[in-house]
């Protein structure tokens, strides 16, 4: 317990020191507020414009959530197809790599052109960017089942369905979560990137990405900082929610979720 308090105080201390450093840079360098607002100003603008901040937060969170959920559903479905045969994997796996390597900023304008500005385009961009890690990790989990376990199932004349549901899919859950954890991080990035291009259909109101552009144009640097804080909080939130589900599903049996006895 004592140790926990110590760690907590440490974290607070480092945070305070960083804020102080930030303030010092402003004082010593005579940086004007439109270039770098003081921490205090950022706090104040967060409080003052909390409702519009919360609205942007919600819009971005929704797009990222649906993008991520969609990618999980579609990604697992594709992984199931890939797991059926080596031949299918050879044919189509390279295209998932393509999905991963194509820079999303490059195709965002295209998507904007095809589906039009607004939440649809943003969700689609988040979805696309999330897809590859889900497919890759789930496929890996589905095909890396110990041969003896497959033999065990075959000895009991298990059907294809039983092999899939009771063995392969269950075995793939930890790998699926590895994919989800990666995708959860980039879902937020994807949604914000999407919003930079295709954020809103009405002037002045939109998700975090859209508002960042808007604040920049208006030279509202303090609000811009508030938006960055909100984006960071959203990223953390995603991470914690996913970690919770991972813990919930795996802690009873999986090695990764075991509390280490030696550090």
Positions that interact with another protein (CB under 8 A): 146, 148-149, 151-158, 162, 166-167, 170, 173, 252-255, 258
The answer to whether 55 and 244 are in contact (CB under 8 A) is no
CB of 179 to another protein, least distance (A): 18
**CA dist., res. 120 & res. 123, Å (int):** 5
C-alpha distances (whole Å) from 119 to each of 64, 67, 127, 153, 228 are 10, 10, 12, 46, 20
- Cβ 153 to another protein shortest distance, Å: 7
Smallest separation (angstroms) from another protein to the CB of 198:
41
Spatial distance between the Cα atoms of 207 and 205, rounded to a whole number of angstroms: 7
Residue 222 burial class via C-beta count within 10 angstroms: exposed 0-12, middle 13-18, buried 19 and up: buried
Nearer to another protein, 1 or 155 (CB): 155
Residue 71 in contact with residue 190, Cβ under 8 Å? no
**Residue 170 CB, nearest distance to another protein (Å)?**
5
Per the structure block, which two tokens stand in for 154? Answer: 């075959």
User: In terms of CB distance, is 255 or 263 closer to another protein?
Assistant: 255
Q: Which is nearer to another protein, 23 or 256 (CB)?
A: 256
Residues 6+ apart with CB under 8 A from 219: 34
> What count of other Cβ atoms lies within 10 Å of the Cβ of residue 94?
10
**Where would I find the H helices in the chain?**
2-29, 39-48, 50-82, 86-101, 104-115, 119-143, 147-155, 160-162, 169-198, 208-217, 221-250
What's the DSSP call for residue 118? Answer: S
Specify the residue, 2 or 156, whose C-beta has the smaller distance to another protein. 156
> Least distance (Å) from another protein to the CB of residue 261?
13
Q: Which is nearer to another protein, 25 or 149 (CB)?
A: 149
Nearer to another protein, 90 or 258 (CB): 258
Q: Quick one: 56 or 175, whose CB is closer to another protein?
A: 175
Q: How far is the CB of 158 from another protein (least distance, A)?
A: 5
Supply the minimum distance, in Å, between the C-beta of residue 255 and another protein.
7
Instruction: Find out whether 39 and 221 touch, Cβ atoms under 8 Å.
Output: no
């Amino acid at each position: 317990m004592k140790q926990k308090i110590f760690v907590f105080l440490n974290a607070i201390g480092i945070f305070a020191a960083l804020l102080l450093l930030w303030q010092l840079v402003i004082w010593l360098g005579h940086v004007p507020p439109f270039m770098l607002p003081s921490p205090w100003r950022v706090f104040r603008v967060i409080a003052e414009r909390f409702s519009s901040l919360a609205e942007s937060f919600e819009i971005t969170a929704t797009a990222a959530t649906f993008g991520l959920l969609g990618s999980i559903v579609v990604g697992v479905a594709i992984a199931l197809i890939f797991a059926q045969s080596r031949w299918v994997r050879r044919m189509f796996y390279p295209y998932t790599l393509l999905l991963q390597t194509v820079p999303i900023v490059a195709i965002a304008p295209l998507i904007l052109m095809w589906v039009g500005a607004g939440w649809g385009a943003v969700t689609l961009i988040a979805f696309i960017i999330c897809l590859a890690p889900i497919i890759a990790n789930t496929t890996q989990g589905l095909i890396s089942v110990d041969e003896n376990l497959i033999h065990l199932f075959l000895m009991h004349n298990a059907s294809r369905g039983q092999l899939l549901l009771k063995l392969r899919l269950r075995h793939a859950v930890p790998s699926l979560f590895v994919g989800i954890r990666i995708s959860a991080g980039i879902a937020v990035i994807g949604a914000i990137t999407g919003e930079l291009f295709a954020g809103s259909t009405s002037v002045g109101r939109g998700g975090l990405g859209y508002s960042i552009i808007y604040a920049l144009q208006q030279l509202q640097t303090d609000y811009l900082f508030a938006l960055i804080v909100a984006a960071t909080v959203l990223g953390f939130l995603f991470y914690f929610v996913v970690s919770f589900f991972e813990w919930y599903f795996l802690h009873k049996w999986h090695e990764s979720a075991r509390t280490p006895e030696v550090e």
